[in-house]
Chains A and B, each alone.
Chain A
């Protein structure tokens, strides 16, 4: 993927991904008390082991944003947020969705403050048994991996032009 610099601010797209990763680590610590560290490996596992959240922005900074993670890791985050009780897939969708919501909100607030833009995002979409990022033939995605003892996570962003669109998460559904 071509690393285009923002012409006004001299900020590379990869710099935005750096901040997204920093935000994920920081919010995960605050919300779930867990420490994620950058990883060179990619998450392994079947599609049944992984769930995803994704959204797109509306406004001046047009991107698709996505996070795929091992369900065990999302379960642990949800368990912390919910108060250490039993966790169902429904809980992961609800609590994980808010976790994702906070991460992308903080990230876009940073982008808006730096670029003086007004960008918001749609309510995140939860995708069970999907693994959108590594299934992509779309090279416009910037992706980074993070890990902790409960599993791995990938976060990514795909910059969009005025007319183009990155593929929706559902498009990557891997048939079992």
Chain B
């Protein structure tokens, strides 16, 4: 079994896309949270190796959700994936302690490379 990935994104399109991109790779999608709020519950339950996290979502945005997860699990590997990729947001994501930032729309090679880099941290 490959490294496990939890996808946090309110979009079914992004979930399906990432799942398809990671087929035949060393990563395996094990869960999908559609909001920042449910991300923590699923993280507790699944304990994934990696998380991909959107920013614009209902209820709680992805930066808050990432902050919550990292406060509880400081070694969590969270890759931000958002179309809102500008200086302030990228800096905020870095300060929170996420391991990378990809701009939507994403491509397979870029995603796999970024997930691999997240695991190489530490």
Residues of A at the B interface (CB closer than 8 Å) are 27, 30-31, 81-83, 94-95, 97-98, 101-106, 108-110, 112-113, 116, 118, 120-123
Contact = CB atoms under 8 A, between A and B. Distances in A.
7 contacts: A27-B105, A30-B105, A95-B13, A101-B56, A105-B56, A113-B86, A121-B56
A78 B70 CA distance: 35
Interface of B: 10-14, 16, 55-58, 61, 82-89, 103-105
Contacts of B13: 81-82, 94-95, 98
A60 B18 CA distance: 32
A105 B104 contact: yes
Contact of A108 (B57, B61, B84, B103): B84
Contact of A113 (B55, B58, B87): B87
B87 A101 contact: no
A40 B58 CA distance: 37
A123 B58 contact: yes
B86 A123 contact: no
A21 B14 CA distance: 23
Nearest to B84: A105
Contacts of B55: 120
B86 A108 contact: yes
Given A101-B56, A106-B103, A109-B83, A118 B11 contact: no
Given A94-B12, A121-B56, A123-B10, A105 B88 contact: no
Nearest to A115: B86
A101 B104 CA distance: 10
Given A31-B105, A104-B83, A98 B11 contact: yes
